[in-house]
Amino acid sequence: MSMLTMKRIRKASEEGPTLFQTDELCRGRRRLPTCVIRNCAIALSVAALWLASGSAPLTAKKKGPPTAKTVVGQVFDGQDNAITGAAVEITDLTTGKTAAIYTGPEGRFTFTDLKLTEDYQIKARFKGQSSEARKVSSWDIRTDLVLNLHIPPPKE
């Protein structure tokens, strides 16, 4: 090391903390200690990494277009009483596949994750009687449908 460099190092250690050197535009203004600037730089770096990692979403995620339909409803008898335990069948009219569920309390049923591009037929059965078949069309743009089914009283 040169003698001039050694003098600068000794002078700096005698003066205390190193001050941030400013350009000519900042002359005459108070200077910040290097440790303050270093801490600010570290804090800004950590904040930038945190934001870039996705930990703090800046905007709400947009929902894409709906991908499935849901059909809910109830099964009623001739006097509009809910029927618990009725079998509700859904048939995919394209493939012919059929699935069935039983109604729960208050005659309620739910079919979820139905394809938007398929047509379906739904009907209910209870003690040998059936409701009229109801259709769910792929042309119906609603994604949440309510279909109530009515089973007529048994014929005598």
Whether residue 63 is contained in a domain is answered as: no
76 and 42, same structural domain? no
Q: How far apart are CA 86 and CA 138, in angstroms?
A: 26
45 and 109, same structural domain? no
Contact 120, 90 (CB under 8 A): yes
pTM above 0.85, yes or no: no
Contact 128, 119 (CB under 8 A): no
Q: Under DSSP, is residue 99 helix (H, G, I), strand (E, B) or coil? A: strand
Contact 8, 20 (CB under 8 A): no
Whether residue 61 is contained in a domain is answered as: no
Whether residue 155 is contained in a domain is answered as: no
Whether residue 23 is contained in a domain is answered as: yes
Q: State the total domains in the chain.
A: 2
User: Which residue did the predictor score with more confidence, 3 or 25?
Assistant: 3
**Structural domain containing residue 16:** 3-52
Whether residue 73 is contained in a domain is answered as: yes
72 and 47, same structural domain? no
Phi, psi angles (nearest 5°) of residue 14: -75, -30
Buried b (16+ CB within 10 A) or exposed e, 5-43: eeeeeeeeeeeeeeeeeeeeeeeeeeeeeeeeeeeeeee
Whether residue 124 is contained in a domain is answered as: yes
The string of pLDDT tens digits covering residues 34-92 is: 766 777 777 777 677 666 666 555 555 667 777 789 999 999 998 999 999 999 999 99
Identity of residue 132? E
Total residues found in the chain within this entry? 156
Strand partners, 124: 88
44 and 12, same structural domain? yes
131 and 80, same structural domain? yes
Whether residue 89 is contained in a domain is answered as: yes
| Cβ-based neighbour number of residue 93 at 10 Å | 14
pLDDT at 57: 57
72 and 144, same structural domain? yes
The string of pLDDT tens digits covering residues 105-152 is: 899 999 999 999 999 999 999 999 999 999 999 998 888 999 999 999
